[in-house]
Each structure stands twice: as structure tokens, then as C-alpha cells.
Amino acid sequence: MWEVLLRLSRLIDIVSRRVGLAARWLVLVAVIVSAGNASVRYLFSTSSNAWLEMQWYLFAAVFLLCSPYTLLLNEHVRIDVLTGGLSQRGAALLDILGGLFFLLPMSILIMMLSWPMFMDSYMRHELSTDAGGLIRWPVKLLIPVGFFLLSLQGVSEIIKRCAFLAGVAPFPISTHDAQTEEIKELVDSVEKGVKR
């Protein structure tokens, strides 16, 4: 049973990592859009609501699509006063309870409540009320998708911590180890690119 659950957890982790690594490039796109919009506004005294809306669409995408990756890296907000003095077993138990009673119910509820909002927007071809604004359904779709991915990652984290408590897996990766691993992956990908 644990082998199947840990394999599922690894699969979820791969999805969260790939989505997060891809979505983080949207920060660069947002900076370019923002700089371009500001430059056009100051140089030519003109602007477009579409570019302004694009900035917050990109911010929403980064926030919602990178949240599962943040949870995977153990970089999410936590109350260190509570977790700082706990043993690994205590921290794992606290994470399981937090996941089961707070993270998953909240994520699933937001996902369920936001789906009809997206569907309504999509069916009506909702447009921004601002002149020259963008269509609304793509940004509204990000809400259920982002919280679905966050729910999946929450399940993965619960599986890893339960496996640790059962003695069949090591304690889930620490923040420092995750950063070291990410830097190593980045260096490896750059080296592969240089060799080509």
C-alpha cells in the first residue's frame, strides 16, 4: 500500500514542480508587460486597460500556479512558534492535522465555489467592464485549477508525512535541501545547454 501511495505522491510532486517552474517565467513576462506599459504611457501619453489587466492576470497565474510548488518546497507560511520546538514526528503530525483540517477543506471549498463562477463567465463570454479590457474567463479558470493543484499537493504532503510516521519513508525534504536540489538542477540544465 505504501509503495502505491508514495508513487502517487512522487507523481503529484512532479506535476507541482513542472507547473511551478513553468509558471515562474510569468514573473518575467509580467515585468516586461509592466515596463512596456509604463514606457508607452510616459513616452507617448497613451495606455491600454488590456495591458494593465494583463499584469494582474499574470500575477494571479504566478500566485495560483506556484502555490503547490511552494508547498512542495516547504516554503509556505507556517507558525514557527508552534513548529520550531517540535521533533520531526511532532512536526509531521502537526502538518497532517493542518492538511486534513485546514488546507484540504479550504482548497476544495474554494475550488468548488469558483467553478460555477468560471463556467458562468465562460458561457457569457464575459468581458472586462473597462474599455479595451480583456476577457474574464481565463483568469477565473485559474482559481479552480490553482486550488485543484494545491489540493493535490496537500494530499502528497499528507502521504509523505504519514509514511514518515509509519517508518517507511524519511522525513519530507527540508527547505534547505529543496533549495540545494533546485540550484543543482539549474546548474545541470545550464551545463547541458552549454555542451550542445
User: Rounded to whole angstroms, how far apart are CA atoms 51 and 63?
Assistant: 19
Digits of tens for pLDDT over the chain (196 positions)? 899 999 999 999 999 999 999 999 999 999 999 999 889 888 888 878 888 899 999 999 999 999 999 999 988 876 666 777 888 899 899 999 999 999 999 999 999 999 999 999 999 999 988 888 899 999 999 999 999 999 999 999 999 999 999 999 998 865 545 556 666 677 777 777 766 5
- Helix, strand, coil: what percent of the chain each, to 5? 80, 0, 20
Give, in order, the Cα–Cα distances in Å from 49 to each of 37, 132, 140, 175: 10, 6, 18, 39
